[in-house]
Every structure is written in structure tokens, then in C-alpha cells.
Structure 1
Amino acid sequence: MVRAQEGPRARYREQTRAEIKDTALRQLAESGAGALALTRIAKEMGLSGPALYRYFSSRDDLLSALIRDAYDDAASAVARAAEEAEAGELGPRARLHALATAYRAWAVAEPHRYLLIQGAPVPGYIAPDDTRDRARAVLGPFLPLFADGSPGTSHSALVAEMTAWLAADTAGVASWVAEYAPDAAADQRRAAYGLAGAVLVWAQLHGSVGLEAAGQFAGMGHSGDTLLTTQLDQLADAFSLT
């Protein structure tokens, strides 16, 4: 009898949590993370403050849930693009563009969610440890593209650091490479190439897409798509991706 009651209760709890998150996302879109307040959310939903705290213990707890969801959705968008690129038998350069385009499309469509996962959303906030793995899931599909590349000597310092990172493996980086680029995992050189490329593409995505999502391209004579395409081609050239 107890188990029968737990099912509907658990579903109601998840539905309420989802509604709270939806309300919070609307507030984020309207006013930014700094204006997010549990009391305001409770008022909009017709709940008391204490009732809301049964679902999220604090504003930071709610922010963490939203950040996890954002990373997961971004990772899903990139993963779908990777599957479609593989099915279409695209080459490494075309796959790079496909994955980055999917990431940019997600970020531009929901800039308030993208900005939530880039840096600290509010002063003093500390993201939970599990967001690292979620961020790695976004970048994972890029690893095999660069593992098969051939970076020039200008990237030797970065490749050396990635090689040292693999050797130390203090953060499970070898397992990360093995999950997304299993063919390269046993070859330290290729694994380091994959990591170097992933770090570089992350920096370029964050720079270009971050500026666009924040509205920094308004009034300028280029589109976000054109800028990102140019940067990706330069990166593909640097790794001799065809």
C-alpha cells in the first residue's frame, strides 16, 4: 500500500519541480540570474515560501538544477548532430562544422540558458562537481575529430600540456577520451591531439557564441554564423582536417 502511494507522490513532486524550473527560466529570460528569487517564484505559482523550499533548499540549489539541465540539453544537441554527421558519412571538417553549428543553434535559441552555464551566474555561486562531467559530455563528440588530425608545431605547447594531463590523469581525463574516442584512447599522441582540439574548439565556441548570445554583435557588420564558420575553418586547417 505504501509503494502504491509513493508512485503518484513522486510524480507530483517531479511535476512541481519541473513547474518551478519553468517559472525560474522565465524569470531568467526576463531579468537575468541576479533577479532570481524563490519568494518571487513561489508568489507566481501561488505557493508559500516554506512550501517551495520542500522542492529546492535554496536559490543556489535551484540554479544548480537549471545548470545541469542546460548542460544536458546542450550535450543532447551536439550528440544528435554527431549521430547525423556519422550517418551522413561526413568528413572530419564537415563534422566539426555540424557539431559547432548545433551548439550555436541551441545557445542562440536560449541565450539565458547558455549564459547560465558560462561562468558564475551570480556572485559567490559555486557549481556542483557533477557539472564538470556534463560539460565534458558537450565536448566529447569533438574529441575523435581532432584525435585523427595533425596539429602543426604552433600547437606543440598545448599538445605537450594535454599529454601531461593524460599522464597524470588526476581528473579522469583518460576515461573521458576512452568514452568518446575509444580508437584513440590507447595512443597517447592521438589522445593528446583530441584533447588539444577539444580545448581549442571550446574556447572558440565560448568566445564567438558567448558574444553573440550576450547581444554583443548588434550593430556590427557580420553574422555570428559567418564568424564561427571562419574560426572553425582556421581550426580545421590547423589540424589538417579534411
Structure 2
Amino acid sequence: MTPTEGGLRARYREQTRAEIKEIALRQLAEGGLAAIALTRIAKELGLSGPALYRYFAGRDDLADALIRDAYDDLAAAVGRAAEGAAGLTPRERLRAMGVAYRAWALSQPQRYLLLFGSPLPGYTAPPDTLLRARAALGPFLSVFEGGRPRPAVAPVVQQMEAWERRDPRVAGWVAEYAAGGDGCAVAGAVMAWTRMHGVISLEVEGQFTGMGHDPRALLDAEVDTLAETFGLG
């Protein structure tokens, strides 16, 4: 095989994998992860069933790829917001990243629910998705670095500090974005995630319909309350 032939074959393979994932995302939007059917994908692409398995070993392998892509896209969206808010106060940076997080979820709810919705029975996400999830949450660490948490969250801060000391991988993750060491950055980032997830998941699933409020205002209130709790300026 010549270098040119090898390059063309590699590009064709990546193009076909991208087309498979695009169809799978449409199926995901129709009925969740359980709706992804490799036989239907193969038929739409004009491939035989066995031919499709040259690109993905099975449905779980395809789901793994979709989850990796989704986490990477979410991390990129949060990262762009963090860069755009550089120089602002910690509270303003927190709000900007929360807005970006919500915007990403609303623009592609099926991918958001793939990451944070009900898990498919029998499916276990690959270990490397943890690193991608932490990349999406990482920019929030720097916001809470040097915070002055109220006594009410002291137990959470202490537990996160112990976790950071106990697990070198967590310590390395924190060091990538913040000085760390006192548990404040991790506690704030994790609590930001829980606050955002609570509001955004309910919105994505349509639970606020007919309630007469703007979910963005609710998210801003949650973020500002958290900023107050951690003494962010």
C-alpha cells in the first residue's frame, strides 16, 4: 500500500465513523441510548451488518465514542467561556461558565442526557470518560480557589480536602487549574456542578413547562447563592 492509499483509507474510515455517529445521534434523539440500532445504521449507510463492525465493535463501543465526544464538546464550551471571562470577578466568571454550560445542554439535549440522564441497564461508560468529565468541570476549580466558605459547607470542604490528599489523581486534576490543597476549590466546583445539573436537567426534561418563570433566572440565582456561600467577589 502506498502512503497516499493509506491516507485515503484512513480518511475514508474517519468519515464513515463520523457518519455512523451522526446517525446514532439522531436515533439517540428519538429514543435515548436504547434506540441506537446498528442494523438500522448499516442499512441507512448501505453497509452490511458485518461491515459496520469494522468501524465499531458494537453498540457499547459506539456509545463510548458518543460519550467521549459529548464530554469533549462540553469541556470546550466551558473552556471558551472561562477564557472569555478572564479578568472578571470570580462571581462573574462563575456565572459566565454556568450560562455556557446551560447553552450547550439546551442546544443538544440528547447529548446532555446521554451524559447525565438515566443510565442504560448493563452499560458501563469507559474509564477515560472520568478524565473528560473532570476537564469539563476543571475551569470551575479556579473560580473557587481562595474562597471563604461559610460554616454551613465546612463539612463538604473538609471531605473534599481529604479526597484531594488521598487520591493523587484528584490532586493532579486540581493542580492543573488551581493551587488547591484546602478543599475549597473542589468543594465549590462539585457544588457548582450539582446546582447547575439540578436546574438544567429539569429544564431539558421539560419539567418547568407552565411554571411561569425563566429557567435562566433560576440558574443565575443558584449560581449567585453559591457565590455568596463561598464568599466570592
TM-score band w.r.t. shorter chain: over 0.9
- Given that residues 115 and 121 in structure 1 are in contact (C-alpha distance below 8 angstroms), is that contact kept between their aligned partners in structure 2? no
Query: Do residues 117 (structure 1) and 129 (structure 2) align?
Result: no
| RMSD over aligned Cα atoms | 1.2
Deviations 1:146-192 (A, max 9, x none): 1121101111111110111111115x0010011111xx24xx22xx1
What is the CA-CA distance between 1:221 and the residue it aligns to? 1.7
Closer, same or farther in 2 for the Cα pair 1:104/1:74, shift >3 Å? Answer: same
What is the CA-CA distance between 1:102 and the residue it aligns to? 0.3
What is the CA-CA distance between 1:205 and the residue it aligns to? 1.3
Give the SS at the match of 2:91.
helix
The CA distance in 1 between the partners of 2:102 and 2:211, in whole Å, is 18
What is the CA-CA distance between 1:119 and the residue it aligns to? 4.5
Aligned length: 233
Q: Determine the structure 2 residue equivalent to 1:3.
A: 3
Query: Do residues 67 (structure 1) and 67 (structure 2) align?
Result: yes
Unaligned 5+ segments in structure 1 are: none
Q: Determine the structure 2 residue equivalent to 1:46.
A: 46
Give the SS at the match of 1:54.
coil
Amino acid of the structure 1 residue aligned with 2:204: A
What is the CA-CA distance between 1:14 and the residue it aligns to? 0.3
Query: Do residues 215 (structure 1) and 191 (structure 2) align?
Result: no
Deviations 1:6-48 (A, max 9, x none): 1111110000000000011111112222211101111122211
Q: TM-score, normalised by structure 1?
A: 0.93
Deviations 1:187-222 (A, max 9, x none): x22xx1000001101111111111111111112121
Query: Do residues 230 (structure 1) and 227 (structure 2) align?
Result: no
Unaligned 5+ segments in structure 2 are: none
What is the CA-CA distance between 1:3 and the residue it aligns to? 3.0
Give the SS at the match of 2:210.
coil
- Given that residues 120 and 126 in structure 1 are in contact (C-alpha distance below 8 angstroms), is that contact kept between their aligned partners in structure 2? no
The CA distance in 2 between the partners of 1:53 and 1:215, in whole Å, is 36
Between 1:230-239 and 1:214-223, the stretch displaced more is 214-223
Amino acid of the structure 2 residue aligned with 1:35: A
The CA distance in 2 between the partners of 1:67 and 1:14, in whole Å, is 17
Amino acid of the structure 1 residue aligned with 2:194: A
What is the CA-CA distance between 1:226 and the residue it aligns to? 1.1
Q: Determine the structure 1 residue equivalent to 2:85.
A: 85
Give the SS at the match of 2:116.
coil
Q: How does 1:70-149 map to 2 (within 5 A)?
A: 70-86=70-86, 89-149=87-147
Give the SS at the match of 1:117.
helix
Give the SS at the match of 2:56.
coil
What is the CA-CA distance between 1:91 and the residue it aligns to? 0.5
Fraction of identical pairs, as percent = 60
Q: Determine the structure 2 residue equivalent to 1:173.
A: 170
Amino acid of the structure 2 residue aligned with 1:177: V
The CA distance in 2 between the partners of 1:129 and 1:224, in whole Å, is 33
The CA distance in 2 between the partners of 1:160 and 1:79, in whole Å, is 27
Query: Do residues 37 (structure 1) and 37 (structure 2) align?
Result: yes
- Given that residues 147 and 194 in structure 1 are in contact (C-alpha distance below 8 angstroms), is that contact kept between their aligned partners in structure 2? yes
The CA distance in 2 between the partners of 1:58 and 1:120, in whole Å, is 21
